[in-house]
Amino acid sequence: MSPAAANIRKRSGKCSAKTITMAHGSGGKAMRDLIDDVFVTAFDNDELNKLEDQAKFDLSSLMDKGDRLALTTDSYVVDPLFFPGGDIGKLAITGTVNDLAVGGAIPLYLTCGMILEEGLLVEDLRRVAESMRKTADQAGVKIVTGDTKVVPRGAADKLFINTAGIGVIPAGINIGTHRAQVGDMVLINGYVGDHGAAIVDARGEMALENTIETDCQPLNSLIQAMLEVCPDIHCMRDATRGGIATVLNEFAQGSNTCIRLNENAIPIRNEVRGMCEILGLDPLYLANEGKVVAIVPADAAEKTLAVMRRHPSGLDSAIIAEVTDSPKSTVILSTSFGGQRIVDMLVGEQLPRIC
């Protein structure tokens, strides 16, 4: 076997423990066996299997895809770890992929940092790692390097994940919160508030009965389809914490424009609306993990909407708002009752530990 081939062979350590112990963070055999058995097995690819302290890439292969790099990082602390339609692992991959994609980048490589609490079930960690692998495969990205730390019981809440991602932005793509223009239209790819509602249901604190699942999904395929018909998308964000209200305020303030939102046009499930009425929540501020809000020129709105509706991640897409001149840096909601109200930035948290 050549030195190069030996360097990328998979290791064969096995983790026999049922729960995470402090030894799994010691840097010794227990830690190596855990990494081999859980992470190397799940994330299997040539770059990761080298188990170096970094991943290396040929710059020419990146330059073939675009002229700029995009880099992002995020941390995930959701409670509970598993919820209807998803888990913390799916959330971590999805969130990082989407943060790259909404900047126009093609996501390529991810890192993964795991903070494990002593006492975490190893089987739960396997489930999370396998979910991350499936989601990465769906998004067409590779997890190429990572880190594992263990903290004493009570110093964390089972499992925290940090992911970072690198992507390449093709030439000619220029998306930014400052680019909204008067006359532009605002599009979204489906129902809002599903993730926040799913987390409330999974916590079981409200004794609510519903079947709402998280909308957690990678959006890079949908966004690439949108960019093919409208390369001049002006603004784009995934509406996570703070919901679509926060994203629209960021656009309005960044561009010094007014965004006029039509309540009747916003897709909201009856179950989400009902839950919000019971709990006194506003669905415009509920977190999403599979929703992209895009601002496009008026003459490109209908064709972009048509492409979105043909994509599995955009079947329920809608035009929900228009960009106007005044009042500056403001979001105005035209209500279903015929009135108007200002939709301000969220103050505080509607729901903690949601992503």
Q: Which domains does the chain have, with CATH numbers?
A: 3-169 (3.30.1330.10), 177-342 (3.90.650.10)
> What pLDDT is attached to residue 346?
81
Contacts of range 343-350, beta carbons closer than 8 Å, 24 or more positions apart: 343/245, 343/248, 343/249, 343/261, 343/284, 344/245, 344/249, 345/242, 345/245, 345/246, 345/249, 346/242, 346/243, 346/245, 346/246, 346/285, 350/196, 350/281, 350/282, 350/285, 350/286
Determine the pLDDT at residue 1.
35
Query: What is the DSSP code (8-state) at residue 152?
Result: -
**For position 10, what pLDDT does the model report?**
56
Task: Name residue, tokens 């675009």.
Answer: 66
What is the per-residue pLDDT for 325? 97
5-14, 137-146, 164-173, range with the lowest pLDDT: 5-14
In this predicted structure, the answer to whether residue 13 has a pLDDT above a threshold of 80 is no
Residue 327 preceded by cis peptide, ω within 30: yes
What residues have CB less than 8 Å from 273, skipping those under 6 apart?
Answer: 283
The helix or strand, by DSSP H or E, that contains position 197, with its residue range, turns out to be helix 194-203
Contact call for residues 291 and 94 (beta carbons, < 8 A): no
DSSP bridge partners of 293: 188, 237
Which tokens is 278 given? 């019971």
- Using a pLDDT cut of 90, give the percent of the chain over it: 86
Contact 92, 112 (CB under 8 A): yes
* 113 pLDDT higher than 60: yes
Amino acid letter for position 298: A
The secondary structure element, H or E, covering residue 110 is strand 106-117
* Listed residue (133, 111, 108, 162) closest to 42, CA to CA: 133
- Measured N-to-C along each axis, helices 88-101 and 122-139 cross at an angle, to the nearest 10 degrees, of 30
Residue 10: CB atoms within 10 A of its CB come to 12
pLDDT at 208: 66
Q: How much is the mean pLDDT over the chain?
A: 93
- Cα separation, 235 vs 250, in Å, equals 10
pLDDT in tens, 147-184: 999 999 999 999 999 999 999 999 999 999 999 999 99
pTM of structure: 0.94
For residue 331, list its beta bridge partners: 259
Confidence band, pLDDT 50/70/90 cuts, at residue 2: very low
Please name which of 239, 270, 259, 249 lies closest in space to residue 340, comparing C-alpha atoms.
259
